[in-house]
Amino acid sequence: MKRWYLIPILFFLFTLPLLGKGTRELETLPSHEPLDPSKRFVIAVQESQDPIYLDPVGATDTTSLLVLDGLFEGLFSLDPTTAEPILALAKEASVSDNGLVWTFALDKEARFSNGDPIDAEALIESWLWLLDRSKNGEGNTYLVSIMDCIVGVDAYRNGTGSRSSIGITSKNPSHIQISLQTAAPYLPAMLGTTSFAAIHESLRNGDVPPEPTEMVGSGPYRIESITEKEILLSKQAWYRDYDSVPSDYIQFRFMDQISILESYLNREIDWSLAYIPRELLRAPRDLRITPEYSTGFYYFSSDTDTYMDQRVRRALDILIPWDEIRTASGQVFPTSHLIPNQDKPFVASKHDSRQAATEALNLLAEAGFPYGAGLPTLHMAVHRGSQVVESAERIADIWSKTLGMTVVLDTVPLSMYSRFPALSPYDFAFITWIGDFQDPFTFLHLYSSDSGYNLGKYSDREYDRLLTTAMSISDNALRREAVALAEEHLLSASIVFPIYHGITTNIIDSEYVTGWYDNTLNIHPVKYLGTTRD
């Protein structure tokens, strides 16, 4: 039986007795030294047309998730050095020998930022709220399809099961037991994502979202203030691990590129999410370049009859010299695979445009569009600031000239088509997807029929079967083989077209910054960020 342990931490909590009938008096705040404005960690973010989205379930962009990481916490969090799951609200976790039963002992000192206890009921209700949002098609809930490994979840999400049939139970307020249908070694990593954090009932049950400064969180910080130019987080007094948090304040500053450079040179920021050219750096070591567990890819995203037809997608696919586009992307890790693997070298193949055109026209004729006649306008999008505008124009030009079809290419904010994929007005788009944790399912589940964040609006029973099979395998070697089969099936469906695996570039003040480490998930929990600058 595997176990994780958390060393107990002393908390200085002064509480009043509970009153009868379930009513709790307001408790005295824990005794701490006043927050010190000099203990402030400043993060520079380049101005964007994509607003911050303070929804722990619905947020997908890096900046929103970084802010939310300071506000919310679950049973596990992610280690800042390795991005592997470590205990958080859980003091102890154990798994049965067959891998089907997980038991968690909760930290009894854990509180929400308003002082309410974080107990088993609060966590279970948070996860059920996540499931209910998935049923209603709300937010970024693609991770809930991975929850189908839990007894009763699939039936509940599909409307054929009840809450009581779900294999998540508690025998007392400080213990949770999860019963699985199939082994899920990735469960701790999944539970370490923001979507599975403890969410206060005021956020789960309120018809009107509270003001950001009134949000009740479960993490180390609360929102002190928020404007278009700044978000200021302050350390919240009820946090269970208060004394281990080095910065009293985390400040996000939204600036243009010139202002970021000036602030960096004046040592007014500690970490820049925006790139600064190497020749302008104070010290070369301030630039941190790391391979990232991510893939940039084009994808079909259409539920219209024409582009749902695999023959049409395949015809458009084979007309494009993908390997030339990958090579010309200028990226460090061009790829033809969806699942990141920077260790596997990319080998380009030659594209025969004449043969491709013949095959494409045959497929289109079979689908009822001889020589491309009758193909509806294809709406295509890339997001502002992306590095693929040139390749997008080339793709649109090939389709337009070869088939005489109309292709409309828009450059828009990423949120226009990525925040709610089911509502995307585009048939073809580009995105860079970063895995929430280091497991192939964070990519393959995007195309599961049950995914609440199905980028391609895609449904294929054979793919679902291959994915389910891969999920149920615990042997690492056999699991890799099963994952490869699922990925191959997906790629052969001409629904997703990988271009490159990503790298991250961050600028930190390496002389003073503490708690910031390179890792492939580009995960840098704000809880650990500090500075030794006076």
* Choice among 42-56, 138-152, 257-271, 433-447 with the minimum mean pLDDT: 138-152
The pair of three-digit structure tokens given for residue 49, joined into one six-digit string: 């047309």
Whether the predicted pLDDT of 112 surpasses 60: yes
Domains, the chain? 2-6+37-244+510-531 (3.40.190.10), 291-503 (3.10.105.10)
pTM above 0.95, yes or no: no
Residue range 273-308, pLDDT digits in tens: 999 999 999 999 999 999 999 999 999 998 888 999
The DSSP output letter for 43 is: E
45: nearest Cα among 224, 232, 271: 271
* Cα gap 32→310, rounded to integer Å: 62
Residue range 187-196, pLDDT digits in tens: 999 999 999 9
* Cα gap 452→439, rounded to integer Å: 18
Spatial contact of 527 and 77, defined as CB atoms under 8 Å apart: yes
* Choice among 21-25, 329-333, 402-406 with the minimum mean pLDDT: 21-25
Place of tokens 């004046």: 266
* Choice among 10-14, 27-31, 266-270, 416-420 with the minimum mean pLDDT: 10-14
* Cα gap 486→462, rounded to integer Å: 9
Backbone angles phi, psi at 76, to 5 degrees: -120, 155
The pair of three-digit structure tokens given for residue 523, joined into one six-digit string: 């995960």
Spatial contact of 145 and 445, defined as CB atoms under 8 Å apart: yes
pLDDT of residue 27: 66
Spatial contact of 169 and 103, defined as CB atoms under 8 Å apart: no
Other Cβ atoms less than 10 A from the Cβ of 371: the count is: 12
Mean pLDDT (whole number) for 39-61: 87
* Helix H or strand E segment including 291: strand 287-300
Spatial contact of 144 and 452, defined as CB atoms under 8 Å apart: yes
Three-state DSSP state, 86:
strand
Report the length, in residues, of the chain.
534
Whether the predicted pLDDT of 201 surpasses 90: yes
* Cα gap 192→186, rounded to integer Å: 10
Mean pLDDT (whole number) for 15-42: 68
Residue range 153-193, pLDDT digits in tens: 989 988 889 999 999 999 899 999 999 988 888 899 999 99
The pair of three-digit structure tokens given for residue 246, joined into one six-digit string: 């080095």
How far CA 20 is from CA of 23, 24, 115, 310, in Å, comes to 6, 8, 18, 64
* Cα gap 121→164, rounded to integer Å: 13
Whether the predicted pLDDT of 8 surpasses 60: no
* Cα gap 36→430, rounded to integer Å: 44
* Cα gap 66→71, rounded to integer Å: 9
Whether the predicted pLDDT of 7 surpasses 60: no
71: nearest Cα among 173, 176, 212: 212
